[in-house]
């Protein structure tokens, strides 16, 4: 179905990355940058009547809770087993991740484990290289990797990729409660915003910024790991795919954009392993470990990391 067969991709993997043309880089930057700048431009326009400090605080808190629910919970714990969680923490992480509205935990984990099993080859649910390596094929592939794949009628078999999670009664219950958690995630900001300002206007603006804008921004940041971080970025580590480290997504993605290291060492609890690489997800795991809620954390081991460096 796809021209990017494993054998053709093998010849151009991270060991010998190809350089991209300048025009391609500019087009990519424009498509990523302009809609985001438009959102930023809306902030001063709305300030004072359609947006205030309350909305910002609620949006940031909701983004951090749902975002780390995905990165700490869905990704590093449930998908990769980077640490063991107490039962209460496991339940809290599954609920927090569900609040991001990226699907129930078992479905998300099954897709992501399949991504690692086939990264950038046939079978990867969201490789930007799916349609080939020419610029039109890559443009189509980027769209597919970012959002298109979500509409694929073919689904990853959960029983094959996440039987451990399907056997967990707590997670089955949280999966069943997914629509309820979604409703809560959308309505909670309005309730807090309304009570905080004691006004309907406060409820409405909090709903707009801390529900709609927050969910949308987090969706795009998560999807950017699949699209942008498999197309551009530094590749200092050996991996079987085209994953890259993209520094400018580190804060918004909570450390997930150090994606080349992640594919080189998937169970590692810290993705930003180098000095100065922001990884708030690793910080949160560290705090959970201090509290005694997370154990057996797989912190980076210098020898293991060094063995995966391309220059090594
Ligand atoms: Zn990946
Ligand atoms: Zn992963």
Give pLDDT, residue 5. 45
Instruction: Pull the structure tokens for residue 291.
Output: 């509290």
Residue 151 has pLDDT above 80, yes or no: yes
Distance 5 CA to ligand 1 centre (A): 18
Higher pLDDT, 45 or 64: 64
How far apart (Å, rounded) are the C-alpha atoms in residues 206 and 18?
Answer: 45
Distance 182 CA to ligand 2 centre (A): 24
Share of the chain above pLDDT 90, in %: 76
pLDDT tens digits for range 260-287: 999 999 999 999 999 999 999 999 999 9
Distance 311 CA to ligand 1 centre (A): 22
Task: Please state the domain extents for the chain.
Answer: 54-307
Band (pLDDT 50/70/90 cuts) for residue 18 is low
Question: Span 75-88, mean pLDDT?
Answer: 98
Residue 2 has pLDDT above 80, yes or no: no
Q: Which of 24-33, 69-78, 88-97 has the lowest mean pLDDT?
A: 24-33
Give pLDDT, residue 20. 65
**Is 66:96 a contact under the CB 8 Å cutoff?**
yes
Distance 190 CA to ligand 1 centre (A): 34
Give pLDDT, residue 14. 45
Which position has the token pair 């629910």? 69
Distance 112 CA to ligand 2 centre (A): 6
Distance 24 CA to ligand 1 centre (A): 21
Question: Span 290-309, mean pLDDT?
Answer: 96
Instruction: Pull the structure tokens for residue 253.
Output: 């993605």
Q: Which of 40-44, 256-260, 279-283 has the lowest mean pLDDT?
A: 40-44
How far apart (Å, rounded) are the C-alpha atoms in residues 281 and 291?
Answer: 15
Annotate 97-158 with DSSP letters as a single string: HHTT-S--HHHHHHHHHHHHHHTTSTT-TT-TTTT-SSHHHHHHHHHHHHTGGGG-SS---H
* Closest listed ligand to the CA of 266: 2
pLDDT tens digits for range 200-248: 999 999 999 999 999 999 999 999 999 999 999 999 999 999 999 999 9
* Closest listed ligand to the CA of 126: 1
**pTM of the shown model:** 0.88
3-state secondary structure of 80: coil
């Amino acid at each position: 179905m796809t021209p990017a067969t494993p054998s053709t991709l093998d010849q151009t993997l991270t060991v010998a990355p190809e350089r991209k043309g300048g025009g391609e880089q500019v087009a990519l930057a424009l498509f990523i940058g302009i809609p985001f700048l438009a959102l930023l431009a809306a902030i001063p326009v709305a300030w004072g009547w359609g947006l205030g400090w309350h909305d910002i605080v609620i949006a940031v808190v909701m983004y951090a809770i749902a975002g780390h629910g995905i990165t700490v919970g869905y990704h590093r714990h449930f998908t990769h087993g980077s640490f063991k969680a107490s039962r209460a923490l496991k339940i809290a992480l599954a609920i927090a991740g569900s609040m991001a509205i990226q699907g129930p935990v078992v479905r998300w984990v099954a897709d992501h484990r399949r991504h690692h099993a086939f990264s950038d080859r046939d079978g990867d649910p969201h490789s930007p290289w799916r349609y080939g390596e020419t610029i039109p094929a890559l443009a189509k592939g980027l769209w597919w990797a970012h959002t298109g794949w979500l509409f694929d009628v073919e689904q990853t078999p959960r029983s094959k990729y996440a039987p451990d999670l399907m056997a967990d009664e707590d997670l089955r219950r949280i999966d069943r409660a997914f629509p309820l958690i979604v409703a809560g995630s959308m309505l909670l900001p309005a309730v807090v915003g309304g009570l905080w300002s004691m006004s309907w206007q406060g409820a409405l603006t909090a709903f707009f910024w801390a529900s709609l804008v927050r969910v949308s921004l987090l969706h795009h940041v998560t999807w950017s790991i699949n699209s942008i971080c498999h197309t551009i970025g530094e590749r200092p580590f050996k991996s079987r795919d085209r994953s890259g480290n993209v520094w400018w997504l580190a804060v918004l993605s909570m450390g997930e954009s150090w994606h080349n290291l992640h594919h080189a060492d998937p169970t590692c609890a810290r993705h930003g392993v180098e000095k100065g690489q922001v990884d708030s997800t690793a910080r949160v795991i560290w705090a959970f470990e201090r509290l005694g809620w997370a154990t057996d954390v797989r912190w980076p081991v210098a020898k293991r990391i060094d063995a995966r460096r391309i220059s090594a």
